[in-house]
A and B are shown apart, each in its own frame.
Chain A
Amino acid sequence: MLFPTLSFGLFFLGVFTIVWAASGSNEWRKILLLLASWVFYGAWDWRFVALLIGSALLNWGSAELIWYNRDAPAGRRRAIMIAGITGNLLILGFFKYYGFFVEQLGDVLRSVGYARDLPLMQVVLPVGISFFTFQGMSYLADVHAERLAPARLLDVTLLMSFFPHLVAGPIVRGSDLLPQFEESPRLTRDMASMGLVLIVWGLFKKAVVASELSTGLVDPVFFDPAAHSRLDLVAAAYGYAVQIYCDFSAYSDMAIGIAALLGYRFPLNFNQPYRAASLQEFWRRWHISLSSWLRDYLYIDALGGSRKGFARQCVNLMVTMLLGGLWHGAKWTFVIWGGLHGGVLALERIWDRIRPPSLPRLPRVLGILITFHVVLVGWIFFRAESFDAAIAYFRGLGRAGADSAVLTPLACALIVFGMAIHFTPADLGQKLALKLRLFPAWALGLLVGITILIIDVMRFEGVAPFIYYQF
């Protein structure tokens, strides 16, 4: 069930009505939200609802054990946490990486002349598994560090299953959402107006900008780079940068808006990432819930961050980004993408150290241009089907010829639009919401209806799944 479809629209109308009608009892409200979330997830594959429940049970049980042993030696509590996290990693590893690692192992064995038939299986990837396992792991780490008290089974299950963030984030941490589950929420006009702005804006970015660029430009060029001119390849690379931003940020915007209409507050996940003047700044603006997760739980908690010296800090950055790349999927192109980001992040740190104080700092505009193009190179690896396909793409950029078979005035306009929205005031949506909250319901209802109608007129036939569903 995709957000920008009528199926989801009708589902949400039902949930919105029933859940607010049941708000007299917070317990019933949460039970209804949980059932709705399972229906939402079950629309992909009912079998994986059991996995979701099993995963919630694992994390709830592990957190209870950690808390029960809070006066026991630290080693025991740590061992329970590690066991819980290992359980999560085993689930993720089996569904997401089993095939990849068995294939790599087979290649290694063949290369040393020890070819064997390894037990290959076609494992179906449950939608959103990377998101809910990361959420479970951070819950355990927070309970272990006593940043969070363990929550009841219903709340933990709802935390992990809550449908707005379930399949493509943002990764909402227990510390953000669990306290909100403790009492019946209140829907304010602020939440409702901003929620509607986010939903309609997200719908436009996904259904019009991302879908149009994907279908008309990016997909055909990345499918066969050798058959396209240099101009097409350049345009498709810029097109993909805009597409992935409009696709993924659209999901986050809609998720935050939907949660707001149900009375819950989700954290910001994107903040105009292409206006970043360094890669470090980029990661404070792009997929903020993942980058802050990786920073807090992997880079600082597990690897030690910058506490073990400068050289180790650079290694930690690299390891964090390599694993961050692998989080996106079991492909070498993701690892290379992560390695590129980790390498440039480390270089930025090194340059900060060795830069002579007399040397003037780079003008911000130049920093933005360089950072964007580093990100763009990374996106080519991220989007390419394989390492060879990415290399073929880069080779094609050196080819002569400026004829284009796929570039249209509309695609150009959407690329320019997708970049331009990064340089508008960051609080434009909030200012709009402040004005809209004063509208009478009938006027805003008509305005929302007309805007959705216009978007529906412009949308590409059919809705492609969100890029981050596969992660």
Chain B
Amino acid sequence: MPNDTPSPIDLPEPELEESGLGWAFGVILIASLFLLFANAVSLRDWIEDQHPSPVQARAAEYADQWVATTEGLGIGLPRKAMHTRWKQVEETRFARTTQKGRAVDGRD
């Protein structure tokens, strides 16, 4: 490989001898399976956004069941809790103050 232009993938220590293909495949597989269980809502939303068709309708039905299953098992709950908390952070506003320094929304 040419090395005359720097690349972030050139790590500053000697390469490991073993092949990374099986390892990378394992990492991607585990990550995908984890997301399939812990992030079922995203899969459902994605299926719902697809072009309507009989296949899409059936897939949406399965996705709904899958979301219900993961939530029933409690696997989807961390996502839900984090999302609720993040929405609160997004909606936080600076208290608007008057010239005397009192908060106009009633919070001093």
Contacts and interface: CB of A to CB of B under 8 A. Distances in A.
A186 B7 contact: no
Interface size class of B (residues with CB under 8 A): 35 or more
Interface stretch (B33-41, B53-61, B66-74): B33-41
Given A6-B42, A446-B31, A457 B8 contact: no
B103 interface: no
Given A7-B46, A452-B35, A445 B11 contact: no
Interface string A412-456: 000000000000000101100110010001101110111011101
A408 B92 contact: yes
Interface in B1-32: 1-2, 5-13, 15-16, 18-32
A6 B43 CA distance: 8
A192 B26 CA distance: 11
Contact of B18 (A20, A189, A404): A189
Nearest to B45: A6
A445 B12 contact: no
B9 A191 contact: yes
B98 to A, nearest CB: 11
Given A186-B19, A187-B20, A265 B9 contact: yes
Given A265-B1, A409-B92, A456-B39, A430 B30 contact: no
Contacts of B22: 441
A190 interface: yes
Contact of A176 (B2, B24, B43, B89): B2
A445 B92 CA distance: 34
A16 interface: yes
B79 interface: yes
Contacts of B1: 179-180, 265
B42 A450 contact: no
Nearest to A7: B46
Given A430-B11, A434-B13, A458-B86, A453 B19 contact: no
A256 B10 CA distance: 12
A445 B2 contact: no
A457 B79 contact: yes
B82 A444 contact: no
A259 to B, nearest CB: 9
A448 B90 contact: no
Interface of B: 1-2, 5-13, 15-16, 18-35, 38-39, 42-43, 46, 78-79, 82-83, 86, 89-90, 92-94, 96
13 contacts: A6-B43, A189-B18, A192-B23, A256-B9, A267-B5, A268-B6, A429-B8, A441-B23, A441-B27, A445-B30, A446-B31, A452-B31, A456-B42
For the complex of A and B, the 9 pairs showing the least CB-CB separation, nearest first, are A445-B30, A441-B26, A449-B34, A192-B24, A189-B20, A267-B5, A449-B31, A448-B31, A6-B46
Interface of A: 5-7, 13, 16-17, 20, 175-176, 179-180, 186-196, 198, 212, 216, 253, 256, 260-261, 265-268, 403-404, 407-410, 427, 429-430, 433-434, 437, 441-442, 444-446, 448-450, 452-454, 456-458
